[in-house]
Structure 1
Amino acid sequence: MKAKPTESELEILQVIWQKGKVTVREVHEHLATIKDTGYTTTLKQMQNMHAKGLLHRDEQNRTHTYTAAIEEQATQKNLVQNFMASAFGGSAKNLVMQALGQGNPSKEELDEIRAFLDQIENEK
């Protein structure tokens, strides 16, 4: 993995992973619906993310467009592995137990979790 994204960088990446190719304005407009942020702040963050290798920038048109340089699934996997190692001593069980204890998973979510556990068990 290139650089480890910060929390605010992950917010930007979520928008880009959802939409694919975006402008700074599109990202800013989305972020403005969930938090108070300025356009220049979003612009600077995306420029920094490009410099860090987290984003690709297409400069062919007057308005630059950005795409993610890192994959969503690979990023999530890496972040979870790091979090599990640092906060739960590497224990997947403790992480899952804590996560399930925090929320109120729906029956559908629990069914998906059971199916996933069955799949993992059958692969061994």
Structure 2
Amino acid sequence: MSSSPSSSELRLLQAIWREGRLSAREIHDATEVQSGWSYSATRKTLDRMVEKGLLDIEPVHGIKTFTAAQPKVETLAGLIRDFGRNVLGADAPLPVSMFTGSSVIDADEIAELEDMLARLNEEDDA
């Protein structure tokens, strides 16, 4: 991934992670209440996310749809690692148990996240 998603971009990614491939209208409809954005603001953000390498475009029956360019757990692991380092000054991975009960990731993804954070930590130490 070329860059980390902003909090606004994460809101759009969460809709895609929940539903899979979505059109701009579907993403807007799924996030409009939270964001309060106009449709054009959602479209502009989606285009920026494509430029940043956060989303891929896949035409389906002549409709431009969007998918996440990276898997959800990989994106979350990068954000968690960056938060631990840059905000908390932590050298070791954050405990994954703190994500239990999350509405964004399930138990299997938590286990995958734990493995990924451990691998990222090993790579950093190398």
Q: Please confirm whether the aligned pair reaches a TM-score higher than 0.5, indicating the same fold.
A: yes
Q: Which runs of 5+ in 1 are unaligned?
A: 107-111
Which residue of 1 is the match for residue 89 of structure 2? 89
> Could you say which residue in structure 2 is the equivalent of 1:21?
21
Give 1:19-98 correspondences, 5 Å limit. Answer: 19-59=19-59, 61-90=61-90
Provide the aligned length of Structure 1 versus Structure 2: 102
Query: Over alpha carbons, which structure has the higher Rg?
Result: 1
TM superposition score normalised by structure 1: 0.70
Unaligned 5+ segments in structure 2 are: 102-106, 116-126
Partner of 1:8: 8
Report deviation, 1:83.
Answer: 0.5
1:91 positional shift: 5.2
Overall identity of the aligned pairs, in %: 30
Q: Distance in 1 between matches of 2:35 and 2:70?
A: 24
Corresponding residue SS for 2:22: coil
| 1:49 partner SS | helix
Q: Equivalents in 2 of 1:35, 1:15: separation in Å?
A: 12
TM-score by length of 2: 0.69
Shift in Å, 1:56: 0.8
SS in 1 for 2:63: coil
Deviations 1:30-84 (A, max 9, x none): 1112231100000011011111111111246442111110111011111111111
